[in-house]
Amino acid sequence: MTTLVVTDLDGTVWDKSLRCHPSTLAAVHLLRDRDDVELLVATGRRRNSARSTYIANGFTLPSVLLNGAIGFDFDAEAIFHQVAFDVDALRSVIDLLVAFDLGPVAYLADTRALVVEGVTSSVRHLESLGADLEWSSMADVAPRSDVLGLSMLGLELAQVQPALAELTALVGVQAFSYADHLDPPFSLMLAPENVTKVVGIRAYLDHAEIVPDRIIAVGDGGNDLEMLAMADVAIAVRGGDQRAIDLADHVIDRPERGGWAAVLDFI
């Protein structure tokens, strides 16, 4: 039998310090070494931000990134899945954001993060982009064919709420809005049509030619709900999004207390 364990990172494996608790780190290494377990990450992180944090914690894992827009095998340095915005859909999104005076960060296939003038995202978010940050404009972003996602993090709900209904109604676009306990108070992510963590997870299983007998999903956030719902065993994190907790079969302790190590109990 093969068990797939798919896990979020931020707020699940590690806390805001971006460091794994020793118990969590030991559990990750133990599961990686098991022949009957496949360990996969599904996160909103970009490729380079995931890479740097993996390096700091002394491990890497195959990862579904940007909430399902790209899948990357860090050991093989290979992309196993990638979906970019349709050009017409992206232009519709940009036009709508301009109309509501919203400015996103655009994530490109080459790992650059284009930050538009007048960006409406938190300082913490922009600082996290590091060397991938490149200043741009809405006019420059709109015609591109290599945009994997857009986001605005750490906003007040009032900034984005007027645009939400129209963004959600756009053809060719997935809109994720949620109370963000990691970059509070509220965040908005926009993805190509039919891009979710679950889509990326399925792409990895196809790529790796794995048919799991059981799927265990671990996540704390609003962007983990579909992943938790499709799992045979859904595990949420204490202090996380209440919707995730309501979906869960089990709730583990916070990452700063090494809660992720309890995943071993459910294998």
CATH topology of domain 87-192: 3.30.1240
- Tell me the C-alpha distance between 125 and 121, whole Å: 7
In the predicted structure, residue 222 carries a pLDDT above the cut 90:
no
pLDDT of residue 176: 85
Domain locations along the chain: 3-82+196-266, 87-192
Measured on CA atoms in the order 239, 149, 173, 90, is the torsion positive or negative? positive
Say which CATH architecture domain 3-82+196-266 belongs to: 3-Layer(aba) Sandwich (3.40)
Sheet holding 250-252, edge to edge: 78-82, 70-73, 63-65, 37-42, 3-7, 214-218, 233-237, 250-252
Calculate what percentage of the chain has a pLDDT beyond 70. 100
Name the token pair of 147.
């945009």
Q: How many residues does the chain have?
A: 267
182 pLDDT exceeds 90?
no
pLDDT digit string, tens, across residues 26-57: 999 999 999 999 999 999 999 999 999 999 99
Q: What is the pTM of this model?
A: 0.94
User: Once rounded to an integer, what is the mean pLDDT over residues 105-122?
Assistant: 98
